[in-house]
Structure 1
Amino acid sequence: MSERLVRHLANYAAYHRDRRNVATHMVGIPLIVLAVEVLLARPRLAIGGIEIAAVDLAIVAACCFYFTLDRRLACAMAVVLAVGKVIAGKLAEQDTATWLSWGIGLFVTGWLIQFLGHWWEGRKPAFLDDLRGLLIGPLFVLAEAAFHFGRRLELRGQIEARLAR
Structure 2
Amino acid sequence: MRKVDLLFAEYSKSHRNAINKMIHWICVPLIFWTILGFVSLVPAPHFCISYFGCISIVSIIMVVLITLFYIRLSFRISIIMILMMFLAEHFIYLTNISLGKQSWILYLLVFVITWVFQFIGHKIEGKKPTFIQDIQFLLVGPIWLLGFILKKTGIKY
Q: TM-score if structure 2 supplies the norm length?
A: 0.84
Q: For the Cα contact (< 8 Å) 1:31–1:109, is it kept in 2?
A: no
Q: CA deviation at 1:61?
A: 0.5
Q: CA deviation at 1:145?
A: 2.5
Report the RMSD for the aligned CA atoms in angstroms.
2.0
**Match for residue 151 of structure 1?**
154
Q: CA deviation at 1:150?
A: 3.4
Letter paired with 2:154: R
How far apart, in 2, do the equivalents of 1:111 and 1:3 lie? 29
Q: CA deviation at 1:80?
A: 1.0
Identity across aligned pairs (percent)?
22
How far apart, in 1, do the equivalents of 2:92 and 2:101 lie? 13
Compared CA separation, residues 53 and 105, structure 1 to 2 (3 A)? farther
What is the aligned counterpart of 2:141 among 131, 137, 140? 137
How far apart, in 1, do the equivalents of 2:18 and 2:61 lie? 34
What stretches of structure 2 of length at least 5 have no aligned partner? 46-54
Q: For the Cα contact (< 8 Å) 1:35–1:106, is it kept in 2?
A: yes
How far apart, in 2, do the equivalents of 1:4 and 1:44 lie? 36
- SS of corresponding position for 2:154: coil
**Match for residue 101 of structure 2?**
96
Q: CA deviation at 1:124?
A: 0.7
Report the count of equivalent residues: 147
**Match for residue 68 of structure 2?**
64
Q: For the Cα contact (< 8 Å) 1:12–1:137, is it kept in 2?
A: yes
Q: CA deviation at 1:22?
A: 1.4
**How do 1:12-51 and structure 2 match up within 5 A?**
12-45=11-44
Once the two structures are superposed, residues 47-101 of structure 1 have per-residue CA deviations (whole angstroms, 9 ceiling, x without a partner) of xxxx94322211111111101110111111111111101111122233212x112
What stretches of structure 1 of length at least 5 have no aligned partner? 156-165
Structure 1 runs of 4+ aligned residues shifted over 3 Å read none
**Match for residue 116 of structure 1?**
120
**Match for residue 49 of structure 2?**
none
- SS of corresponding position for 1:130: coil
How far apart, in 1, do the equivalents of 2:2 and 2:81 lie? 19
Q: For the Cα contact (< 8 Å) 1:35–1:104, is it kept in 2?
A: yes
- SS of corresponding position for 2:91: helix
How far apart, in 1, do the equivalents of 2:150 and 2:119 lie? 24
Once the two structures are superposed, residues 76-133 of structure 1 have per-residue CA deviations (whole angstroms, 9 ceiling, x without a partner) of 1111111101111122233212x11211112112212211211110011000000011
Q: For the Cα contact (< 8 Å) 1:5–1:69, is it kept in 2?
A: yes
What is the aligned counterpart of 1:125 among 129, 137, 141? 129
